Amino acid sequence: MIRFENVGLRYGTGPEVLRDISFSLPPGSFHFLTGASGAGKSSLLKLMYLAHRPTRGLITLFDRDMASVPRTELPAMRRRIGVVFQDFQLLDHLSALDNVALPLRMAGAPEAEVVEQCAELLRWVGLGNHLDARPPTLSGGQQQRVAIARSVINRPRLLLADEPTGNVDDSIGMRLLYLFEELHKLGATVVIATHNEALIRRFDHPRLHLEHGQLHALPPHSARVAVSTGPR
């Protein structure tokens, strides 16, 4: 699904934010992306969803070398990726339902199907009473749930989320993680950047950990606990 080979990224003439990043994620995998603030998590996600091109190295996505993909083909590739941004990127003049409906309408889905699916998903994330509300009237946590619903409504092959539980309480955070789990079970490849160690421990998935601009692969929490405790 994704392969990075010796990837580096710098902004302008500054030092490299990411350096010598190499990893591969098979289809249908689920990883947490961790690291301190400023470690480069958002930058790495931007490389994954094609918002940035690397300064050096090779990125392969959906079995395509990104360096050889014409810019005219990038929008079609991005439609196969669901992204939850930290700043939500909702359209203020549209209702919650219409924001969520954007990917389906762009794909040409029948309108009756669009309304039914979007309303059902918004109810599931606890916003059934806010279908017609516009983003400025919603709280930060409510806007985040609208953004997450929009990112998953068309069942993307690749789902990337940047701190998706940062503005919600733990009970809603668990519900959102279960939503990502369901998409994972349907075959989506999932990468979630988060600081929430309590949530990470509830889901037994490996993590990609960024430190000083370099990436380290860590096993699932249960494997780390087993190694630390040793045989009984």
Closest CA to 30 of 60, 2, 61, 66: 2
| pLDDT value of position 120 | 92
- pLDDT surpassing 90 at residue 37: no
Asked if 1 and 76 sit in the same domain, the reply is: yes
161: tokens are 């989320």
- pLDDT surpassing 90 at residue 196: no
Quote the pTM value.
0.84
| pLDDT value of position 224 | 56
- The residue range of the domain holding 127 is 90-155
Q: Of 111, 135, 155, which residue is a domain's last? A: 155
> For residues 75 and 33, what is the distance between their CA atoms, to the nearest angstrom?
25
> For residues 23 and 7, what is the distance between their CA atoms, to the nearest angstrom?
10
Q: At residue 23, what is the residue type?
A: F
221: tokens are 């929490």
Residue 219 lies in a domain: yes
Residue 229 lies in a domain: yes
> For residues 49 and 30, what is the distance between their CA atoms, to the nearest angstrom?
16
Asked if 74 and 114 sit in the same domain, the reply is: no
Average pLDDT of the segment spanning 71-91: 85
Q: Are 25 and 189 in contact (CB under 8 A)?
A: yes
Residue 85 lies in a domain: no
**How many folded domains does the chain comprise?**
2
| pLDDT value of position 76 | 83
Asked if 63 and 170 sit in the same domain, the reply is: yes
62: tokens are 């959906």
